[in-house]
């Protein structure tokens, strides 16, 4: 499975949650995640990967920086992980 397939699944999941998944342009800053996902009441920085691919060191540094600021970050590398992420957001809204 390609990373683009995971990313397309994320775009659909964001829409199903009533939000959007905006593409972050890669030439702006090295290490930024692929998508800025805005769903009702939440903003997420999400890196999509092909299955079993790992974050590069510059991506790990950016992830750690965002998490230290208390921001939401997820790395999703399979359609199942996208679905799980989506259902977690849905359950948070219902709680």
Read off the pLDDT of residues 5-57 as tens digits, 9 standing for 90 and up: 999 999 999 999 999 999 998 777 889 999 999 999 999 999 999 998 999 99
pLDDT attached to residue 1: 72
Once rounded to an integer, what is the mean pLDDT over residues 90-94? 86
**Could you tell me which of 81, 34, 78, 85 has the C-alpha nearest to residue 59?**
34
Q: How far apart are CA 50 and CA 6, in angstroms?
A: 7
pTM of the predicted protein model: 0.91
Secondary structure class of 89 (helix, strand, coil): helix
Residues with Cβ < 8 Å from 62, sequence gap 6 or more?
A: 29, 31, 32, 33
CA distances from 1 to 8, 13, 17, 51, 72 (A): 12, 18, 24, 7, 25
């Amino acid at each position: 499975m390609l990373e683009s397939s995971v990313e397309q699944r994320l775009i659909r999941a964001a829409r199903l949650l009533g939000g959007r998944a905006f593409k972050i342009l890669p030439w702006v800053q090295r290490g930024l995640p692929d998508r800025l996902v805005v769903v009702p009441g939440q903003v997420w920085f999400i890196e999509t990967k092909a299955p079993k691919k790992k974050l590069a060191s510059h991506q790990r540094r950016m992830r750690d920086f965002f998490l230290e600021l208390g921001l939401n970050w997820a790395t999703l590398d399979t359609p199942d992980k996208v679905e799980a992420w989506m259902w977690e957001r849905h359950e948070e809204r219902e709680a």
